[in-house]
């Protein structure tokens, strides 16, 4: 089997699943009582700690220790072409900074697609590795977050203190 998932516990997040497919890390999601992404209900994943999943977990641990601001594990960005462009634009937002959904829409090449950009952020399966938590409303309001606003608030506060 070439699809694997393994579980870890991290500050702010709690129990977290990290998954890989043939291309790289394909999902990071909260495992504490939340439904897994559609990716997991449509495909079989073997519970196994692989070298790549372990490396991703080590990098997340370093992030939460304040020792890492960028991730270097290979990612498997799935989704529509539009979603992939938004997710790639999210990768350009430095740790400790935020952008508005409007700014992100522009960075993605779709300056008028602000709502669709927000929707694409909500479909990001790679929590923290693709930092959708760094995107907020133009008003400064947090907006939505698939892992919940408490987690988003916690991550933003953590990053602002780790500068």
Catalytic (active site) residue 132? yes
Q: Which residue has the tokens 């897994």?
A: 36
> Catalytic amino acids?
132
């Amino acid at each position: 089997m070439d699809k694997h998932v393994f579980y870890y516990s991290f500050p702010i997040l709690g129990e977290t699943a990290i998954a890989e497919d043939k291309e790289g890390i394909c999902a990071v999601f909260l495992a504490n009582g939340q439904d897994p992404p559609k990716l997991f209900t449509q495909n079989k994943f073997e519970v196994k700690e692989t070298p790549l999943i372990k490396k991703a977990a080590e990098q997340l641990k370093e992030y939460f220790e304040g020792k890492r601001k960028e991730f270097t594990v290979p990612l498997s960005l799935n989704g529509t072409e539009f979603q992939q462009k938004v997710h790639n634009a999210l990768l350009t937002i430095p740790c400790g900074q935020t952008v508005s959904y409007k700014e992100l829409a522009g960075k993605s090449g779709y300056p008028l697609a602000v709502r669709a950009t927000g929707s694409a952020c909500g479909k990001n399966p790679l929590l923290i590795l693709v930092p959708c938590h760094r995107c907020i409303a133009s008003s400064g309001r947090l907006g939505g977050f698939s892992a919940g606003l408490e987690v988003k608030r916690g991550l933003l506060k953590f990053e602002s203190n780790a500068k």
